[in-house]
Amino acid sequence: MTDVMVPALGESVSEATVSTWFKKPGDAVKQDEMLCELETDKVSVEVPSPVAGVLAEILAPEGTTVAANARLAIVTEGATATKTDPTAQKPKTEDPKIEAAAAVGSPGAGHEEVTPRSDVENAPSAKKALAEAGLSADAVKGTGRDGRVMKEDVARTVAGASGAQAAAATPTPAPAAVPRAPIPAE
């Protein structure tokens, strides 16, 4: 059994919040595969699996604040994942047309366009920048993973809005007069 520890967070950071678990207990994991994401007031950090095996136990569930040296989970080395019933994972709908459409996939499948998702939390620094600018997250196009709004996205949106307002407010200056050649005094 191998402990999954909080990685180095930075010089002045003493705690982090577990924002998302990408795996659940019983899932097979590869070495360096991302297990969860931690957020601090400064950065978001993805935590990789230190070994290949099975995620045996999650010690810090989502939303938990953990210290910089805390244990997050336990991975059993070399174990194989437990088999689950694949039909139990997928909820059944009552409409066969919806099931058929879901089986085919979405029309944009295969494209790498980032679409915003409501279940993805924006970066902490972006939340702060949004609050300072008085913007909502819907007004900013996120370029982060899964459409996550990053601080740079907010800055780009604010700069674009202020640049457009400044261009509309200030008239275009007249072209400068061409200087004349010197004339001898007589």
Which one, of 62, 68, 74, lies nearest residue 40 by Cα? 68
- 2-81 is classed in which CATH architecture? Beta Barrel (2.40)
Residue 56 has pLDDT above 70, yes or no: yes
- Count of CB atoms within 10 A of residue 57's CB? 14
> What CATH number belongs to 124-165?
4.10.320.10
β-pair type (65-67, 15-21): antiparallel
Domain boundaries, the chain: 2-81, 124-165
What's the predicted TM-score (pTM) here?
A: 0.43
Average pLDDT over residues 155-161: 81
Position 113 scores a pLDDT of: 42
Express each pLDDT in 58-99 by its tens digit: 898 888 888 888 888 999 887 665 544 444 444 444 445 445
The per-residue pLDDT for range 97-143, each reduced to its tens digit, is 445 444 444 444 444 444 444 566 777 778 888 888 888 777 888 87
Q: What is the DSSP string of 82-146?
A: PP--HHHHSPPPS-HHHHHHHHH--TTTT-------TTSPPPHHHHHHHHHHT--GGGS---SGG
For residues 81 and 26, give the distance between their C-alpha atoms in angstroms, rounded to a whole number.
Answer: 6
Tell me the CA distances in angstroms from 7 to 14, 43, 57, 75, one per residue in order.
11, 12, 18, 16
Bridge partners (DSSP) of residue 5 are: 71
Kind plus residue range of the DSSP H or E element containing 155: helix 151-169
Query: How do strand 34-39 and strand 53-58 relate by DSSP bridges?
Result: unpaired
Find all residues with CB under 8 Å of 125, minimum gap 6, and list them.
41, 42, 43, 150, 151
pLDDT tens across 19-31, in order?
888 888 899 989 8
Fold equal for 2-81 and 124-165: no
Check if the beta carbon of residue 124 is closer than 8 Å to that of residue 40. Answer: yes
Indicate the SS3 state at residue 40.
Answer: coil
**Span of 9-18, 97-106, 146-155 with lowest mean pLDDT:** 97-106
Mean predicted lDDT score pLDDT of the chain? 74
